[in-house]
Amino acid sequence: MSKQAIWPGSPGPLPYTPGILAGGFVYVSGQVPLDPATRAIVEGDFEERVRQCIRNVESVLKAAHASMNDVVKVTVFLTDMNMFARMNAVYAEYWGDPKPARSCVQVAGLPMGVDVEIEAIARID
């Protein structure tokens, strides 16, 4: 099976690829609330950080000629499960029915000290 690296912009100095296209699926690496223009973590409330994670997922999908409607599985990582309801409210803004399968996991920590990270798998027909 061949693999194709997916970069929403020019490749950066990362030890991983933002997305991989393989076997009709796009595997989107975990996206943190990093503003791609400034390379800084988004300031503001938790909801805005969740939105930035989802926008970053969407950017990788677009680079692979996929869309949010193609997403079949999402994994959300939170450092505080008390934020689950707030994350859910934002999440519902981006995915219609049927929503993708999803897992939400509380973790002890995330890169760059963020409190949310989102990864996804999309199917491209």
Quickly list DSSP for 83-111. GHHHHHHHHHHH--SSPPEEEEEE-S--G
Task: Identify the residue whose tokens are 């079949």.
Answer: 72
Q: Give the model's confidence band at 91: pLDDT under 50 very low, under 70 low, under 90 confident, else very high.
A: very high
Q: How many domains does the chain have?
A: 1
- pLDDT, tens digit, 9 for 90 and up, residues 7-27: 998 777 778 899 999 999 999
Residue 6 lies in a domain: no
Residue among 120, 116, 115, 65 nearest 94 (CA) = 120
Residue 77 lies in a domain: yes
Residue 106 lies in a domain: yes
Domain enclosing residue 85, as ranges: 25-123
Instruction: Compute the distance between CA of residue 47 and CA of residue 32 in angstroms, rounded to an integer.
Output: 13
Q: What is the pTM (predicted TM-score) of this model?
A: 0.96
Residues 6+ apart with CB under 8 A from 35: 41, 42, 52
Q: Give the model's confidence band at 34: pLDDT under 50 very low, under 70 low, under 90 confident, else very high.
A: very high
Helix segments in the chain, DSSP class H: 46-63, 84-94
pLDDT of residue 12: 72
Residue 85 lies in a domain: yes
